[in-house]
Amino acid sequence: MNINHDLLPWGNSDFRKNPYPWYARLQKEHPLYRENDKTWVITRYSDYMEFVRHPAMTIVEPDWVGTHPWRAIESTVQGTEGADHTRLRRHSNKWFTPKLVKEWVKHAAEITLESLKHVDAQGHLEAHHHLCVMPSHVTMCRVLQVDEGDVDRVIQNTLKIVGAQSPTATEANKATAREGFDFLFGKCRAMIAAKREQPGDGLLDALLSAQDKGELSEKEVLETLLLFYFSGAPNPAFILASILDHFTREPELLALYRENPEQRSAMINEFIRLYPPEMSFVRFLTEDVEIHGQLLPRGSCLRFMTAAVNRDPAVFAQPHNFNHLRGGQESQQVSFGVGAHSCAGQVITRAEVETVLSIITERYSRIESAGEPLTLSDDRIRNYLELPLRFIA
């Protein structure tokens, strides 16, 4: 087997900062790229849409994948298919309907207004923590009706677990991820114990009620709680930080957002296309599948490159430029996935982003950089760590 790793140099620092030149070459020359003897990579939009919902695709890992830290949540919607997936999703979907989300984002608005009190006399604020993490984290905690505190350690340990998802994850990365999961599971077990002592009417209460009725297992409840608890902040926070950072580079977009409320949803959709929090995901084949004349055997891994697909020039004209007026297929980005495994939190994420941005832009006419952002980028996940900004009324 002859594989050119220069085409997709996962651990390369330049690639991690800006992978798009590599993606463009793959789309043009190697639409089906062989990463190793088990894994193939898809970067074109048309291939993504054809195969991501193919009946032979499964999220359930075959035995050859082996053990890894993320098996800790294999009993959630992220590790199941068919009837089990439908059953698990049913217990959470009803908590994130558009009607309920309108109520949940009132919490995001409250925290955003509270966070803006930390803007100093010169207009400075570390925006990632105050305006990106806090509104989304607290909102999810209130949906679950669990403790909102210890935010910094929750985020620190969430960052620990995502490092194990990289294609180049080392044993050290995996050990760190296990530490992160241990911390988060400890928090979640304490939340469940507290709920048993003092019940409420939040999402966690509903999960525990389903367990008592025999509809969910104890393991499913614990892992589902952990999934919602740690994932409530990172993706909305990254999208928000990316947009605020973008506003510093193209201030006319802030003005456009501020002055045209009817265009805000389309603008957010375009920002989500440009800045997907998760760069890729994998599926596995339950039967042989032919792609671009190549027969991929049963058990193979197929990596779908979300970030590449979102900037496929065959679909998106000037793919690296912001254009919220894209119509038809051009407006159909895939940052939240498609099909049965599309992101369960996408409705609340969009609503939180619009809520926070609307409050900020209605109060401030301009946002400037107040220092170099601190980011964490690997081959799989994007995160901001710090985003120092200056807000000008």
168, pLDDT greater than 90: no
Percent of the residues in the chain that have a pLDDT greater than 70, as a whole number: 99
Say how far apart CA 141 and CA 132 lie, in whole Å. Answer: 15
Q: Do the beta carbons of residue 244 and residue 131 sit within 8 Å?
A: yes
Q: Is 222 exposed, middle or buried (0-12, 13-18, 19+ CB in 10 A)?
A: buried
Say how far apart CA 266 and CA 323 lie, in whole Å. Answer: 9
pLDDT digits (tens, 9 = 90+) for 302-327: 999 999 999 999 999 999 999 999 99
pLDDT digits (tens, 9 = 90+) for 197-234: 999 999 999 999 999 999 999 999 999 999 999 999 99
The pLDDT value recorded for residue 1 is 42
Question: Span 239-257, mean pLDDT?
Answer: 99
23, pLDDT greater than 90: yes
pLDDT digits (tens, 9 = 90+) for 373-390: 999 888 788 999 999 999
pLDDT digits (tens, 9 = 90+) for 255-272: 999 999 999 999 999 999
The pLDDT value recorded for residue 170 is 92
Q: What backbone phi and psi angles, to 5 degrees, belong to 135? A: -60, -40
Say how far apart CA 7 and CA 225 lie, in whole Å. Answer: 39
Q: How confident is the model at residue 15 (pLDDT cuts 50, 70, 90)?
A: very high
Could you tell me the CA-to-CA distances from 332 to 203, 236, 269 in Å, in that order? 30, 19, 9
Mean of the per-residue pLDDT values of the chain: 96
Dig out the tokens for 162 from the structure. 């995502």
Beta-carbon count within 10 A of 12 CB: 15
The pLDDT value recorded for residue 11 is 87
Query: How far does the chain reach from its first CA to its final CA, in angstroms?
Result: 60
Dig out the tokens for 52 from the structure. 């991501």
3, pLDDT greater than 70: no
235, pLDDT greater than 60: yes
Domains of the chain from N-terminus onward? 7-392 (1.10.630.10)
Nearest to residue 38, comparing CAs of 303, 309, 348? Answer: 303
Question: Span 186-201, mean pLDDT?
Answer: 98
pLDDT digits (tens, 9 = 90+) for 60-114: 999 999 999 999 999 999 999 999 999 999 999 999 999 999 999 999 999 999 9
